[in-house]
Structure 1
Amino acid sequence: MEWYVYQKGSSPIRKVSRRGRSHLKRNLLIVCIFVAAAGLLWCAVAFNRINNTATTAPMTKADAGIILGMAMWGDEPSPGLKERLDYGLKLYNEGMFSRIIVSGGLDKADYQYTEGQGMRNYLVAQGVPEDAILMENESTSTYENLKFSQKIMQQEGMTSVVIITHTYHGRRALEIAREIGYASPQLGLTESQTMSMLKYKTREILAYTKWKMQQLSM
């Protein structure tokens, strides 16, 4: 059976057979399968990269440690953010760096403290001298965490750094740091005992994909 395509006030201009329509559907299905397969393959690649990033070893002494921000729970760092802070504090007490940069902006308009302020308060309460802490409290993303912290380092004449975050977040943080010009950045990574890795690693695959797209346009 054939189908005729008309233009108003004119004679048929094209015939479309059922066979042609079936061929078109098959081609569309092949494209969809290919796109889905490519997406799954990329997710596997991204997951492998995220899952196989580790703390720099051996770690060498640096000018500063940058603790990347995470959510505040009201006036207090969230349990996940406390894990990053505690690990950064451990490295500080081991003498891996003498200055700490805490980085993170305001989570919600009605919060009293930015992430940076909440992190500084937490570290001071743990015995870190206030003059050992430098604060960045404007950033809203990992890229901004590192970009704005880099400006602080430049102002203070610091050139070497340990970037402190969770293991699942380390690959993206390291790639961003290298892309924007950090010199041989090191990673200090901690595993989480408080967060669902199914949730956060799934979200990180999406965030890492977004970063790779952003990187293409830089």
Structure 2
Amino acid sequence: MNNKIAKQWKLWISVTIISAVLFTISSTAISIYLYGNNSYNYKADAAIVLGAAVWGEKPSPVFRERINHAINLYKNGNVKKIIFTGGVGEINEPAEAVVGQRYAIARGVKASDILIETQSRTTSENLQNALAVVGTNQKLTKFLIVSDPLHLKRAVLMARNLGMDAYPSPTPTTRYRSFSSQMEFLGRETYFYFVYLVFKI
């Protein structure tokens, strides 16, 4: 009888733990999805465009949408400066930030209103290096973080933990449109969100 009760007790504990874990994961995933898909209309001193892949001399579709959104923010008066981030992904390719800079200048953004950093390879490095580029410029204190919607909850948390007055500005268009691609991206972001909470990387 005691063994039977002990087994039932262990089973109940196991079910409770598994349920709690699943609830935590699912609720976090939902919060990431809702956070990035809200409508935001903030104004700030600068937009920080998180890097993404380039294809030769051109931005990949993902990066292009981020750049386009930053350009629209700039032209609509939501930001005064654009900070492009991202280093070299493949040998013989220009840095992501350089590609973003060229693309934006070709579309009417003043070169003097663009800052770049060309060493970062991760979201955390994007933000740290952007902050270093800003330095002690007292005119740049409030930032819009520009990226794909599902990327923003983690990115903004990182930025605020670096001491930035940062706010989300999700791209209104994204390459991740199909249900399967969104779920894949959401699963990956949920994982990295927990990794960041635990390890701060």
What's the TM-score, normalizing by structure 1?
Answer: 0.77
Check the 8 A contact 1:55/1:187 in 2, yes or no.
no
- Structure 1 residues 119 and 26, CA gap change in structure 2 (3 angstroms): farther
Matched, 1:214 2:199: yes
Match of 2:40 among 56, 59, 62: 56
The count of corresponding residues between Structure 1 and Structure 2 is: 193
Identity %: 27
CA distance in 2, matches of 1:173, 1:126: 26
| Aligned mate of 2:170, from 179, 189, 192 | 189
1:67–1:103 CA contact under 8 A, matched in 2 = yes
Cross-structure match for 1:91: 73
Pairwise CA distance, 1:27: 7.7
Q: Secondary structure at the match of 2:146?
A: strand
Structure 2 counterparts to residues 14-25 of structure 1, below 5 A: none
- Equivalent-residue separation in structure 2 for 1:36 and 1:122 (angstroms): 48
Once the two structures are TM-superposed, the CA of residue 35 in structure 1 deviates from its matched residue by 4.7
Question: 2:119 corresponds to which letter in structure 1?
Answer: E
1:19-34 paired onto structure 2 within 5 Å: 33-34=15-16
Residue ranges of structure 1 left out of the alignment (5+ in a row): 1-18
Q: 1:1-218 to 2 correspondence within 5 Å? A: 33-53=15-35, 54-57=38-41, 59-60=42-43, 62-108=44-90, 110-157=91-138, 158-183=140-165, 185-195=166-176, 196-215=181-200
Q: Which amino acid aligns with 2:55?
A: W
Letter of the 2:189 counterpart: E
| Contact 2:148–2:174 under 8 Å retained in 1 | no
**CA-CA distance at 1:37 after TM superposition:** 2.8
> Contact conserved, 2:66 with 2:146, CA < 8 A, in 1?
yes
The one-letter amino acid paired with 1:56 is: Y
**CA positional deviation for 1:81:** 0.9
Matched AA of 1:186: Y
CA distance in 2, matches of 1:105, 1:25: 55
Q: Residues of 2 paired with 1:136 and 1:180: CA distance?
A: 17
Structure 2 distance, partners of 1:191, 1:93, is 16
Match of 1:13 in 2: none
1:52 partner SS = helix
Matched letter for residue 134 of structure 1: L
Distance 1:124 1:42, change over 3 A: same
- Gap change, CA 1:46 and 1:133, over 3 Å in 2: same
With 203-212 and 30-39 compared, the bigger mean Cα shift is at: 30-39
Normalising to structure 2: TM-score of the pair? Answer: 0.83
Change (3 A) 1:114 1:141: same
